[in-house]
Amino acid sequence: MRRSLNITPVPGAAAAEALPRIVAFVEEMAELDDWAPDLVLRSNLILEELILNTLTHGRTSGLSDIEVTLESGENSVTITLVDDGAAFDPLNDEPSPDTDLPLQERSIGGLGLHLVRTMAEDLAYKHADGKNHLTLVARAGA
Amino acid sequence: MELAQERDAGTNVISPAGRVDGSNSAEFHESLMAALSGDDNRVILDMGGIDYISSAGLRVLLLLAQHLGGSATPFAVCSLAASVDEVFRISGFNQIITVFGTLDEAKAQLA
């Protein structure tokens, strides 16, 4: 099954207010296509990190829409995100955090995208037609 | 989100339940800080009831660990679900926060 959801940033609203719709969208797909529980968790995590990142950093740069498309595969989900915010390559434009630093020197910056880049497979980004296009695959039990 | 707490001879065991994401991480932070006491000799966060944590939740755990580290209070987490354990490993949190398999192990070994 293949389904899409459009997220429109709401002026003045916290980015996290978009989360319940994303979770409901994932759970509906998961139920219809019988996803494994860890596939549901991974898909939710990947979408939360990417979409909140876009809503937080893209809204000041003309962002008006994020289109989320999920397509069920064999124990996997292909996720496509297209947004019209400022050009941003989540695979390369933000360095991975140093995950070896001691406790008091650690900061949380960049950890969300690091989780996505590590957990997802077949990641591909391009900027075309004035939009960011990101495709990746979440896989169960990897 | 729900958060149970049990104090026994200076050991503060805090057991949150549910999911920790960007929509409730601020509430999670407040609840955890409110559950601490200056009299705690050590703090154990039993994560057995948490099946989902995003970077927003990791941020709260980092702040808690740094806060307790600042006062040299022994701190550990235990009973991580497989999904939470995966997030811990990818983010390197298992190198900066002590992780035990079970609450009993944490109680017996955290010093």
pLDDT for position A60: 60
> How many domains does the structure of chain B reveal?
1
Chain A residues in contact with B80 by the CB 8 A cut-off are none
Report if residue B111 sits inside a domain: no
Residue A79 and residue A67: Cα distance in Å, rounded? 10
Which residues 17-46 in chain A show a CB within 8 A of chain B? 17, 19-20, 38, 41-42, 44-45
Report if residue B64 sits inside a domain: yes
Domain residue limits, chain A: 2-139
Q: In this complex, do A48 and B87 lie within 8 Å of one another by their Cβ atoms?
A: no
Report if residue B109 sits inside a domain: no
Q: How far is B55 from chain A (nearest CA, A)?
A: 5
Q: In this complex, do B22 and A48 lie within 8 Å of one another by their Cβ atoms?
A: yes
pLDDT for position B12: 98
pLDDT for position A56: 86
Q: How far is A120 from chain B (nearest CA, A)?
A: 12
Q: Give the residue from chain B lying closest to A23, CA to CA.
A: B21
Complex prediction ipTM? 0.93
Output the domain CATH number for residue B54: 3.30.750.24
pLDDT for position A6: 96
Which CATH architecture group holds A2-139? Answer: 2-Layer Sandwich (3.30)
- The one-digit pLDDT tens for each residue of chain A (142 residues) are 999 999 998 887 888 889 999 999 999 999 999 999 999 999 999 999 999 999 987 656 789 999 999 999 999 999 999 999 999 999 999 888 999 999 999 988 889 999 999 999 999 999 999 999 999 999 998 5
- Sites in chain B below the pLDDT cut of 70: none
pLDDT for position A107: 87
pLDDT for position A15: 84
Q: Cβ-count burial of A9 within 10 angstroms (0-12 exposed, 13-18 middle, 19+ buried)? A: buried
DSSP-derived secondary structure letter, A113: H
The dihedral region occupied by B55, where left means phi > 0, alpha psi between -120 and 50, and beta the remainder, is: alpha
**Domain housing B88:** 2-102
pLDDT for position A10: 84
Report if residue B95 sits inside a domain: yes
pLDDT for position A13: 82
